[in-house]
Amino acid sequence: MEVGFLGLGIMGKAMSMNLLKNGFKVTVWNRTLSKCNELVAHGASIGKTPAEVINKCKVTIAMLSDPAAALSVVLDKDGVLEQICGGKGYIDMSTVDPETSCKINEAITSKGGQFLEAPVSGSKQPAETGQLVILAAGDKALYEAAIPAFDILGKKSFFLGQVGNGAKMKLVVNMIMGSMMNAFSEGLTLADRSGLNPRDLLDVLDLGAIANPMFKGKGPAMLQNNYSPAFPLKHQQKDMRLALALGDENSVPMPVAAASNEAFKKARSMGLGDMDFSAVFETLKVLKHSS
Ligand SMILES: NC(=O)c1ccc[n+]([C@@H]2O[C@H](COP(=O)([O-])OP(=O)(O)OC[C@H]3O[C@@H](n4cnc5c(N)ncnc54)[C@H](OP(=O)(O)O)[C@@H]3O)[C@@H](O)[C@H]2O)c1
Q: What is the pTM of this model?
A: 0.97
- Which of ligand 1's atoms lies nearest the C-alpha of 94? 45
Q: Which residues contact 179 (CB under 8 A, 6 or more apart)?
A: 256, 257, 260
pLDDT at 1: 82
Supply the residue whose CA is at minimum distance from atom 31 of ligand 1.
69
Pocket test for ligand 1, best of 60, 177, 235, 268 (most atoms within 8 A of CB): 235
Could you tell me the distance, in angstroms and rounded to a whole number, from the CA of residue 108 to the centre of ligand 1?
Answer: 21
pLDDT at 199: 98
* 274: nearest Cα among 65, 68, 94: 65
Active site (annotated) includes residue 216: no
Query: Which three-class secondary structure state does DSSP give residue 63?
Result: coil
Q: What is the largest CA-CA distance in the chain?
A: 69
For residue 14, CA distances in Å to 39, 131, 235 come to 10, 11, 17
Could you tell me the distance, in angstroms and rounded to a whole number, from the CA of residue 6 to the centre of ligand 1?
Answer: 10
Question: Domain 168-285 has what CATH class?
Answer: mainly alpha
pLDDT at 287: 60
What's the pLDDT tens digit per position in 86-111?
999 999 999 999 999 999 999 999 99
- Which of ligand 1's atoms lies nearest the C-alpha of 11? 16
DSSP 155: E
Supply the residue whose CA is at minimum distance from atom 32 of ligand 1.
69
Pocket test for ligand 1, best of 13, 64, 242 (most atoms within 8 A of CB): 64
Task: In whole angstroms, give the CA distance from residue 88 to residue 118.
Answer: 16
The arrangement of secondary structure in 2-161, i.e. its CATH architecture, is 3-Layer(aba) Sandwich (3.40)
What's the pLDDT tens digit per position in 220-229?
999 999 999 9
Does residue 167 contact residue 249 with C-beta atoms inside 8 Å? no
Ligand 1 cavity residues, CB under 6 Å: 7-12, 30-32, 35, 63-66, 68-69, 72-73, 94-95, 120, 123-124, 230-232, 235
pLDDT at 193: 96
Active-site residue, selected from the candidate residues 13, 88, 168, 170:
170
Could you tell me the distance, in angstroms and rounded to a whole number, from the CA of residue 62 to the centre of ligand 1?
Answer: 9
pLDDT at 56: 98
Could you tell me the distance, in angstroms and rounded to a whole number, from the CA of residue 127 to the centre of ligand 1?
Answer: 13
In this structure, how many other beta carbons lie within 10 angstroms of the beta carbon of residue 209?
Answer: 6
Could you tell me the distance, in angstroms and rounded to a whole number, from the CA of residue 213 to the centre of ligand 1?
Answer: 23
Could you tell me the distance, in angstroms and rounded to a whole number, from the CA of residue 228 to the centre of ligand 1?
Answer: 16
**Under-50 pLDDT residues of the chain:** none
Supply the residue whose CA is at minimum distance from atom 39 of ligand 1.
32
Mean pLDDT score of the chain, rounded to an integer?
A: 97
- Which of ligand 1's atoms lies nearest the C-alpha of 123? 3
Domain definitions of the chain by residue range: 2-161, 168-285
Crossing angle of helices 198-206 and 213-223, rounded to 10°? 170
